[in-house]
Amino acid sequence: MQKAPGQPPVPALTFAIGDVHGCVDKLHSLLSKCENLAAGTRARYVFIGDYIDRGPDANRAIQTIIDLQKRPDAEVICLRGNHEDLLLNCFEDGAEQLVHWLLMNGGAATLRSYGVESVHDIPGEHLAWIRSLRLFYDDGKRYFVHAGVDPDLPLSEQSEHDQLWIREPFLSSDKIFDRFVVHGHTPQESGLPDIRPNRLNIDTAAVYGGKLTAAVFMDEVLPVKFLTD
């Protein structure tokens, strides 16, 4: 399809990038490999969520992605993960939610990366960016989402909670969905992407010592290759 005058070209390459969790050095290394493969052509980047918590530098990881969004040679789509959801809930649910985030889900590492003691002191630009994150991205062939989907519901009727948090029955389901589902959220102990006929998990446990992975898509529904940091 011919593009309208003034519109940027449709990217030939899509890079789906797994859970970053503050691993900014791995992110920089992986993005460099993506850029080398794109060879100067405009590419699409779909980040699958969980930019913060547990890892060493959520602050710089988010800033790296914000800077990438500003570049004319990239189309950048950023999804919300359950860890971003936890952070945002701290503003509404008070002390109980805050303790759950800080002590059980690595939120303290995120605050340290900003040099602050309160979630309310995270810079406004980054908070606004986190609030703007979308739940899914459908490119017509693939459905990108953080955690997965409820296999008993059509994609158009998925709940916010399931898209951010689900594991079972999604991970065990062999249902073929209307789109090939690309997700993260469940770190792979093998350190390798988990590709099935109906879905692809690209959380290769970067924050637990594994690699940060990008799945590379072209016209084919399935990835043509994988890149790691």
Domain containing 48 — which CATH number? Answer: 3.60.21.10
Measured CA to CA in angstroms, residue 32 lies from 27, 67, 228 at distances of: 9, 14, 10
- The residue range of the domain holding 114 is 14-36+43-166+191-228
Residue 130 lies in a domain: yes
Residue whose tokens read 């939120």: 107
Residue 156 lies in a domain: yes
Q: What are phi and psi of 94, to 5 degrees?
A: 75, -155
Q: Are 180 and 137 a contacting pair, CB within 8 Å?
A: no
DSSP H helices, 39-117, are 58-69, 82-104, 107-114
Task: Locate the DSSP E strands across the chain.
Answer: 13-17, 43-47, 74-78, 136-138, 142-145, 180-183, 194-195, 199-201, 213-217, 225-228
Looking at residue 1, what is its pLDDT?
37
Instruction: Work out the percent of the chain whose per-residue pLDDT is above 70.
Output: 96
Residue 177 lies in a domain: no
Residue 61 lies in a domain: yes
Number of domains observed in the structure of the chain: 1
pLDDT tens digit sequence for 193-227: 999 999 999 999 999 999 999 999 999 999 999 99
pLDDT tens digit sequence for 154-196: 999 999 999 999 999 999 999 999 999 999 999 999 999 999 9
> Which residue did the predictor score with more confidence, 203 or 95?
203
Looking at residue 5, what is its pLDDT?
52
> Which residue did the predictor score with more confidence, 90 or 224?
224
Spatial distance between the Cα atoms of 122 and 212, rounded to a whole number of angstroms: 25
Q: Name the token pair of 135.
A: 């739940």
Looking at residue 96, what is its pLDDT?
76
Strands 194-195 and 199-201: antiparallel
Residues 6+ apart with CB under 8 A from 151: 169, 170, 173, 175, 177
pLDDT (average), residues 51-70: 98
Residue 206 lies in a domain: yes
Residue 5 lies in a domain: no
Question: Does position 62 have pLDDT exceeding 70, yes or no?
Answer: yes
Question: Does position 112 have pLDDT exceeding 50, yes or no?
Answer: yes
Q: Are 26 and 211 a contacting pair, CB within 8 Å?
A: yes
Residue 23 lies in a domain: yes
pLDDT (average), residues 91-112: 86
Residue 219 lies in a domain: yes
Q: Are 212 and 196 a contacting pair, CB within 8 Å?
A: no
Residue among 195, 80, 65 nearest 136 (CA):
80
Question: Does position 84 have pLDDT exceeding 50, yes or no?
Answer: yes
134 DSSP assignment: B
